[in-house]
Structure 1
Amino acid sequence: MSDQPDVSRRRFLRSSVAIVPVASLAACEPRSSTSSEASPSGASAAVAATPYKPKFFDTNEWRFINAAVDRLIPHDDEGPGALDLGVPEFIDRQMDTPYAHGATWYMQGPFQQGAPELGYQLKLVPRDIYRLGIASVDRYCIKAHGEPFAALNDATRDTVLASLESGQADLGDVPAAAFFGQLLQNTREGYFCDPVHGGNRGMGAWKMIGFPGARADFMDFVNQNGQAYPYGPVSINGERT
């Protein structure tokens, strides 16, 4: 976590979209398309009328996810935050995919911490990282601050997240840095994904960075550095802003 001003964070968000590989998004089932989704006002009204109910995370875990992503990408004057764009919904829906079950990973032992270039070496799949990690972070917070993570104020939440990122927090069951990395990666993905995956509600992140989305043709604007893209983004389902 950085102590730089929010404007630096927003620059980071704009640049980090380039390092969120499309292939990393699991092929979760798209939300059914309706006529109301053809217009921003209709889509927003539908979302507001039907709050998302998590299928994987329990009540305490859901509070943690909402509180954590809100600090990783908070709302500010420059753009929407993770909660505005439905990032918790994206993460919850990912937990019911082959990705979260590690279905395509080699998961046979021995499990040893190797050199960084060898990549992920833990025996935990994403579902396990979240289930064990959230419980461990809450125990850590209760011991260090007297309350679970979601009950802490924003400044203390930032302190806890910084200790996770640096690996200084002892979580026992899950390496702190690995848990933080999983959470941050999925938060970025949910913030910038196509709305079909449950995040980037109303394509707010795309509008903020001027990304055209799933438009069939925008090559005329590719090498026009510094020139704003003149049209709004389009989602895979054809939703426009």
Structure 2
Amino acid sequence: MLQGTALGLVAAALLYFPSEGVSEAADSEYAYRPVFFPDNDWHTLNSFVDRLIPADAEGPGALEAHVPEFIDRQMNTPYGHGSEWYLRPPMMKTSAALGYQFLFTPRDIYQQGLPALHSAIMQRYGKPFHQLDAGERDRIIGEMEKGSITLSPIPSKLLFGQILKNCKEGYFADPIHGGNYEMGAWKMIGFPGARADFTDWVDRYGARYPLPPVSVGGHGVQGGV
């Protein structure tokens, strides 16, 4: 679970994907109905994040953690609309040190990128992304990470990075935002969450914190306060 990639992720990092086996949850999306994503994009997103963080014996996968719900809900926030981003030309793409250099909001990236990806997949395989086997999905995702799939107007590497970023956020964020269902990711890594008092533990270096996590809403692992 949570194996590393070149991007360097949280808690031993989130990729690279095992090439065999697909999470059963990928074919049985839970009852949440998206507000932002249309059906085709929703199926693609679910199948994509299922490969980024597949479920295993160590902890829940992205689908079990309700990561797609988190992403869908984020798209209707100021973040999704890019309300606090500087989105004026010119954009200087000469150095990574300059940061984000596109005019696309997160909503734009998904709304334009996922249909473009769907078209590219249909042209190559004759079926949509969510119907590909695990190895085929992994191959596509790996090519997107390298930017070797041509999509327009959203570069495939940009779409990959956006999904990966939001997937990590949804997996480890407080459940109040829709992801990290039942604090499964926090339980897996031993993160205590939003407990108010750690003074008894600040000098116990390397010791495992024994209490279960608590969310911002005050809910513990059993749903109590």
The more displaced of 136-145 and 190-199 is 136-145
Structure having the higher helix fraction is 1
The one-letter code matched in structure 2 to 1:168 is S
Which among 73, 85, 88 is matched to residue 53 of structure 2?
Answer: 73
Which among 171, 174, 179 is matched to residue 194 of structure 1?
Answer: 174
The one-letter code matched in structure 2 to 1:126 is P
Structure 2-normalised TM-score? 0.85
Are 2:155 and 1:175 equivalent residues in the alignment?
Answer: yes
Are 2:21 and 1:8 equivalent residues in the alignment?
Answer: no
Shift of 1:9: 4.8
Are 2:119 and 1:139 equivalent residues in the alignment?
Answer: yes
Cα distance, 1:104–1:7 mapped onto 2, change above 3 Å: closer
Q: Distance in 2 between matches of 1:137 and 1:222?
A: 47
Shift of 1:7: 6.5
Q: Distance in 1 between matches of 2:215 and 2:38?
A: 30
Structure 1-normalised TM-score? 0.80
Contact 1:212 1:218 in 2 (8 A): no
Q: What residue is the counterpart of 2:25 in the other structure?
A: none
**Superposed counterparts of 1:69-108, under 5 Å:** 69-108=49-88
Are 2:36 and 1:56 equivalent residues in the alignment?
Answer: yes
Q: Distance in 2 between matches of 1:13 and 1:107?
A: 28
Residue ranges of structure 2 left out of the alignment (5+ in a row) = 15-29
Cα distance, 1:81–1:7 mapped onto 2, change above 3 Å: closer
Shift of 1:100: 1.0
Q: Distance in 1 between matches of 2:55 and 2:124?
A: 27
The one-letter code matched in structure 2 to 1:239 is H
Q: What residue is the counterpart of 1:162 in the other structure?
A: 142
Contact 1:87 1:200 in 2 (8 A): yes
The one-letter code matched in structure 2 to 1:192 is F
The one-letter code matched in structure 2 to 1:178 is L
The one-letter code matched in structure 2 to 1:96 is N
The more displaced of 125-134 and 220-229 is 220-229
Percent identity, aligned pairs only, is 48
Q: What residue is the counterpart of 2:18 in the other structure?
A: none
The one-letter code matched in structure 1 to 2:96 is P
Q: Distance in 2 between matches of 1:92 and 1:150?
A: 18
Cα distance, 1:219–1:170 mapped onto 2, change above 3 Å: farther
Over residues 217-239 of structure 1, what are the superposed CA-to-partner deviations in whole Å (9 max), with x where a residue is unaligned? 12433453432210000001111
Matched residues, number:
204
Shift of 1:107: 1.1
Residue ranges of structure 1 left out of the alignment (5+ in a row) = 1-5, 18-49
After TM superposition, the runs of 4+ consecutive aligned structure 1 residues lying more than 4 A away are: 9-13
**Superposed counterparts of 1:25-44, under 5 Å:** none
The one-letter code matched in structure 2 to 1:105 is W
Cα distance, 1:223–1:189 mapped onto 2, change above 3 Å: farther
Q: What residue is the counterpart of 2:204 in the other structure?
A: 224
Q: What residue is the counterpart of 2:90 in the other structure?
A: 110
Over residues 62-117 of structure 1, what are the superposed CA-to-partner deviations in whole Å (9 max), with x where a residue is unaligned? 10111001000000011100000100000000000111111111111123423100
Q: What residue is the counterpart of 1:30 in the other structure?
A: none
Contact 1:86 1:198 in 2 (8 A): yes
Contact 2:113 2:152 in 1 (8 A): no
Q: What residue is the counterpart of 1:128 in the other structure?
A: 108
Over residues 133-166 of structure 1, what are the superposed CA-to-partner deviations in whole Å (9 max), with x where a residue is unaligned? 1011111111222212111111100000000001
